[in-house]
């Protein structure tokens, strides 16, 4: 095992989290009588994880710089309400009902608004020297109250038909064929990334991984992708929706029923795309290097010429834009904008980042770990719902898990010194 870990250079903390998640999955499957590891529940689990996973990718950069953002849930609710009002009440009067540009304008407005709110928070933190805890705590209260004032507490519905695709469901999935195509493209990308990494190591004279380790990583990565595609393709449309589809398209209804696979949900694709982009930003761009440099030693980063204040503003602006994407997913999934939308999401987002290996001391964190942490958090919540555990006790469990994660991070940092 030591030889395998050394040769493949796998992160032991990430492997430990994957092992813990598998234990959680198997345990819930046993106690729920086999309900947890069904294609239906795993498909729903992936959709439910999407919005928190998107925000967790931004929370990594925030925490890496030794800051915190407690306002993400309230920003999600406020931006979601604005996008809902634009789609349901304002734009149809201007452009007409179901105009093809309604969802585009609403989404663009949400992204700009989210980024502006984040930039406002970042500016106060960076230039007025107010601690991020206080600024974002104030933002949590301000934007939650502003959400209520937009519609005086009303729920706004329905959303634009195209916009609703971002929420998943039978129409918000890409089907079996496209899911296999996406899966094969992902496998090709995994192999290409590993080959390119080997080429770059050789070019700059860095030590190369053994060929068998490269083959092992490629095989495991492709196997995980293909198994995930097989699972989502094993979840069929509900029988009534499938029957209506058959009647509308003149398809004869077979004796055993018509099997139409959901495939990969659109919000999952959005979350994965955000994860890829954020990984590129944090590991390949100068901005990402600046973020980790600030987290490692803010004073040294500033003396090195990094404009730490502007980097802080950009981080919070990016966090706000990610909240807007999460708001779009959440609003589309509910087909409504509500005042309670995003409540406690700040807890789950911070917990996902910390469980995923992001250190509250700053300087350490990965995007993939945060997204996996979001999946662990949602797995706990989903399993407890299937077991019929009350919501108050679910929050107790989440709180305990968060404290344990921080404690384990403290132990890990202490041993690595």
One domain, residues 123 and 182: no
- Return the pLDDT at 292: 94
- pTM for the model: 0.94
Q: Which domain holds residue 213?
A: 174-264
Q: Is 384 exposed, middle or buried (0-12, 13-18, 19+ CB in 10 A)?
A: middle
- Return the pLDDT at 325: 97
One domain, residues 345 and 303: yes
Instruction: Categorize the per-residue pLDDT at 45 as very low, low, confident or very high, splitting at 50, 70 and 90.
Output: very high
pLDDT in tens, 120-175: 999 999 999 999 999 999 999 999 999 999 998 899 989 999 999 999 888 899 99
One domain, residues 163 and 178: no
One domain, residues 339 and 209: no
CATH number of the domain that residue 397 is part of: 1.10.3470
Lowest mean per-residue pLDDT among 18-27, 129-138, 312-321: 18-27
Domain boundary among 264, 283, 301: 264
- Return the pLDDT at 328: 96
**pLDDT above 80 for 415:** no
pLDDT in tens, 387-412: 988 888 888 887 888 788 778 777 77
Cα angle for residues 214, 217, 223 (degrees, 5° grid): 135
Task: Give me the helices (H) in 210-362, please.
Answer: 211-233, 239-248, 266-284, 286-296, 298-303, 308-334, 345-355
**pLDDT above 70 for 82:** yes
Instruction: Categorize the per-residue pLDDT at 416 as very low, low, confident or very high, splitting at 50, 70 and 90.
Output: low
- Return the pLDDT at 7: 80
The number of domains in the chain is 2
Q: Tell me if the bond preceding 399 is cis, omega within 30° of 0.
A: no
High-pLDDT (> 70) share of the chain, %: 99
Exposure string for 241-255, b = 16+ CB within 10 A, e = fewer: ebeeebeeeeeeeee
- Return the pLDDT at 72: 96
**pLDDT above 70 for 414:** no
- Mean pLDDT computed over 84-88: 93
One domain, residues 137 and 226: no
One domain, residues 287 and 395: yes
One domain, residues 297 and 401: yes
Domain boundary among 230, 264, 298: 264
One domain, residues 144 and 178: no
State both tokens at 285.
């761009």
């Amino acid at each position: 095992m030591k030889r395998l870990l050394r040769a493949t250079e796998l992160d032991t903390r990430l492997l430990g989290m994957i092992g813990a998640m598998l234990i959680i999955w198997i345990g819930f499957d046993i106690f729920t009588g086999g309900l947890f590891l069904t294609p239906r529940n795993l498909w729903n689990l992936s959709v439910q994880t999407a919005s928190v996973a998107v925000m967790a990718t931004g929370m990594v950069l925030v925490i890496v710089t030794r800051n915190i953002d407690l306002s993400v849930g309230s920003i999600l609710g406020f931006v979601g309400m604005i996008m809902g009002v634009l789609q349901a009440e304002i734009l149809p009067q201007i452009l007409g009902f179901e105009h093809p540009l309604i969802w585009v304008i609403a989404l663009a407005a949400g992204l700009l608004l989210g980024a502006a709110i984040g930039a406002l928070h970042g500016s106060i933190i960076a230039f007025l020297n107010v601690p991020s805890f206080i600024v974002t705590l104030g933002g949590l209260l301000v934007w939650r109250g502003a959400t209520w004032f937009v519609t005086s507490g009303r729920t706004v519905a329905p959303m634009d038909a195209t916009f609703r695709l971002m929420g998943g469901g039978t129409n918000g999935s890409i089907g079996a064929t496209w899911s296999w195509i996406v899966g094969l493209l992902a496998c090709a990308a995994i192999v290409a990334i590993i080959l390119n990494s080997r080429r770059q190591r050789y070019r700059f004279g860095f030590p190369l991984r053994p060929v068998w380790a490269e083959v092992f990583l490629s095989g495991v990565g492709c196997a995980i992708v293909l198994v995930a595609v097989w699972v989502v393709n094993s979840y069929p449309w509900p029988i009534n929706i499938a029957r209506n589809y058959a009647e509308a398209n003149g398809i004869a209804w077979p004796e055993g029923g018509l099997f139409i696979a959901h495939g990969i949900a659109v919000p999952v694709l959005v979350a994965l795309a955000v994860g890829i982009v954020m990984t590129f930003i944090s590991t390949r761009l100068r901005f990402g290097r600046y973020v980790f440099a600030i987290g490692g030693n803010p004073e040294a980063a500033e003396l090195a010429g990094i404009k730490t204040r502007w980097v802080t503003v950009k981080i919070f602006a990016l966090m706000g834009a990610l909240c807007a994407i999460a708001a779009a997913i959440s609003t589309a999934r509910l087909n409504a904008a509500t005042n309670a939308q995003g409540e406690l999401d700040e807890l789950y987002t911070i917990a996902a980042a910390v469980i995923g290996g992001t250190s509250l001391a700053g300087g350490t964190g990965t995007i993939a770990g945060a997204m996996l942490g979001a999946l662990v958090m949602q797995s706990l919540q989903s399993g407890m719902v299937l077991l019929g555990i009350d919501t108050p006790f679910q929050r107790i469990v989440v709180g305990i898990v968060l404290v344990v994660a921080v404690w384990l991070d403290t132990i890990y940092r202490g041993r690595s010194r």
